[in-house]
A and B are shown apart, each in its own frame.
Chain A
């Protein structure tokens, strides 16, 4: 998604004939990763940063890791990184000259497919083929299996789809509404220009709220799906 002011930074990069050009969104994601690394690894030396980290750790532990039902440190660090990564990516759209990489369907679809694969593979590793048999409740008459299996497969496939579209649509729509209000500021009469401008300010505050909520929802659903796959569904 190119921003409105410039056509977007684009460094062409074509290894083996594939188009992997480095765009504006890629730069912002690199910046987010560098920020996460700086905050959680480098700033660990200072006591004040450790207190802020402790606050974030407690929040992630209460909200996500408890629904995972395992005390493994690996899942905790994965959910922590996912939450902070999506949060910083969402908030990048509100900075001047920045866009949110999560307002690009490719980014959110990649993350949703990743969560889906992690859930299926960890379920398979934990339970073997019994993981796939968990879809069918016990005591179902064999006749209903013909209808039931495609329905269950579709409902399982709808999970990463809704995960991707929910995050993408929230970020994309928020940015579009902001653009429309800004164009209203331009089109409005000089005496009434403060009205859409107030709208822009209020919607920007709401967008900050939506950024936090959507990153929380994505990580919560990811932890729920992975926890359901790891611990057995029925």
Chain B
């Protein structure tokens, strides 16, 4: 049962994160198309957005590791 919980945790998190990252990069590409000379600041904002969203998936990964390593039940 723990394997199901661990797999479900990281699976759902990855689902949400993939959509969020797609939105971030989609809008970044749109913004660069509108104003190409602001590429530097767009790049910085993109990396910051990427780190925040990736962190949420990694919280779920840590939880799934904790579930797998707890030998309860």
Contacts and interface: CB of A to CB of B under 8 A. Distances in A.
Interface of A: 63, 162, 165-166, 168-170, 172-173, 176, 213-214, 216-217, 220
Contacts of B21: none
B43 to A, nearest CB: 11
B9 to A, nearest CB: 13
Given A166-B58, A169-B58, A170-B58, A213 B51 contact: yes
A169 B57 CA distance: 9
Contacts of A217: 47-48, 51-52
Contact of A169 (B44, B47, B50, B55): B55
Interface in B48-68: 48, 50-52, 54-55, 58-59, 61-62, 65
Given A63-B44, A176-B65, A169 B59 contact: yes
B47 A172 contact: no
B51 A166 contact: yes
Contacts of B51: 166, 213-214, 216-217
B38 to A, nearest CB: 15
Nearest to A170: B58
A172 B65 CA distance: 11
Contacts of B58: 165-166, 169-170, 173
Per DSSP, chain A at the interface is: helix
B62 A162 contact: no
Contacts of A176: 65
A216 B62 contact: no
B59 A165 contact: yes
A31 B14 CA distance: 36
A173 B48 contact: no
A220 B47 CA distance: 11
15 contacts: A165-B55, A165-B58, A168-B62, A169-B55, A169-B59, A170-B54, A170-B55, A170-B58, A173-B58, A173-B61, A213-B50, A214-B51, A216-B47, A217-B47, A217-B52
Contacts of A170: 54-55, 58
Nearest to B58: A169
Contacts of A168: 62
A217 B49 CA distance: 10
A220 B52 CA distance: 12
Given A165-B55, A166-B55, A170-B55, A213 B62 contact: no
A213 B53 CA distance: 13
Interface in B29-47: 44, 47
Contacts of B62: 165, 168-169, 172-173
